[in-house]
Amino acid sequence: MMVSSKGRYALQVMMDIAKNEGDGYVSVADISERQHLPLKYLEVIVGILNKGGMLSSLRGKNGGYRLNKAPDEYSISEILNLTEGSLAPVECVKGHTAGCENAATCMTLPLWIGLDRVIEDYLSNISLQDVVDGNIKDF
């Protein structure tokens, strides 16, 4: 599993909004400037986050984006799964199903299922607020 730039930038967008929204909306241009990320790509990413129900948008002079929930209510897993589609380490365990025709005889399938669970468990137990606050525990 490798998290793409889309997933990494989505986390940066969510963190930036969590830190800067206060009582208002945060513009994509401001996020782009603060995070040194390409504006056009961020517009695509906030569109995904908005359609996925993680953000609300407001058009106009004071418009932008804001979180739909408190930062401690978002898991890193849900943000990455929305933007990446899957965090499965191999194709055959995507969607938590063994979709391979060799699943019944595959000796490595339990390994990949276990790794998939470890990734999901780890990222599900870290909130956006944990990342904003720097409260990530090493193994």
- 8 Å CB contact between 77 and 123: yes
Residue 71 DSSP label? G
Domains belonging to the chain, first-starting first, are 1-139 (1.10.10.10)
pLDDT in tens, 99-128: 677 778 889 889 999 999 999 999 999 999
What whole-number distance in Å separates Cα of residue 44 and Cα of residue 42? 5
pTM equals: 0.89
pLDDT in tens, 38-89: 999 999 999 999 999 999 999 988 899 999 999 999 999 999 999 998 888 8
pLDDT in tens, 6-25: 999 999 999 999 999 887 89
